[in-house]
Amino acid sequence: MNTQITQLPNTGYALSQEQRNRVLRNTYWLLALSLVPTVLGAWIGVATGITESLRGGLGLIVFLGGAFGFMFAIEKTKQSAAGVPVLLAFTFFMGLMLSRMIGMVLGFKNGTDLIMTAFAGTAGVFFVMASLATVIKRDLSGMGKWLFVGALVLMVGAIVNVFLGSSAGMMAISVAAIGIFSAYMLYDLKQIIDGGETNYISATLALYLDLFNVFQSLLALLGIMGGERD
């Protein structure tokens, strides 16, 4: 079996096309599977109201502590059989954390329509970024450090706004998050396609976080701007 190894210019990656395709295929399958516990977690959260008490600083501590704890565990187990279950547990947790916003949006007369619009918008962004990642030949690895800085600034702004409770601040943060994580989506997909990311669990985690942030930000924007009260 003669599998040609290709060396990409300016990247230093050496991975066969077959291996890249396998990572991309496994990532897409696991990403689709990860949506199941997310939806389940969101449904349980809305049905039971278990996250209603997580407001302000307490909610922020639980979310950040849980999210970073899970991401650390995923990184430690990504090479073992425990990697996929830990990732799916993380997506269930993220669904629970999202349930409070979903519950608030469902309180609007057009809440279901807003959620479906946010879902369709997120799917559209993913389709566009996936298409761009396959046709752009330029190495995008240099984007990583700028996107990381942007995400850090965004996180600080979001933390500050938790205590300020500003609707204008939420709108600005949501618009910025959609832009930053859409670009991150393109970057992460290009890393997989070019062979820069070789572990499909890490690749799935990165894309899941991109999709989660775009969806959450779209939902927040739609809720603020288009929510109709009875």
Q: Could you list the pLDDT tens digit for every one of the 230 residues in the chain? A: 433 333 344 444 556 778 888 888 999 999 999 999 999 999 999 988 887 767 666 777 888 888 899 999 999 999 988 999 999 999 999 999 999 889 889 888 888 999 999 999 999 999 999 999 889 888 788 888 888 898 899 888 888 887 877 788 888 999 999 999 999 999 999 999 888 888 999 999 999 999 999 999 999 999 888 766 76
pLDDT tens digits for range 147-180: 889 889 988 888 888 787 778 888 899 999 999 9
Closest CA to 143 of 198, 206, 185: 185
Burial of 67 (0-12, 13-18, 19+ CB in 10 A): middle
Q: How is the chain split into domains, by residue range?
A: 16-226
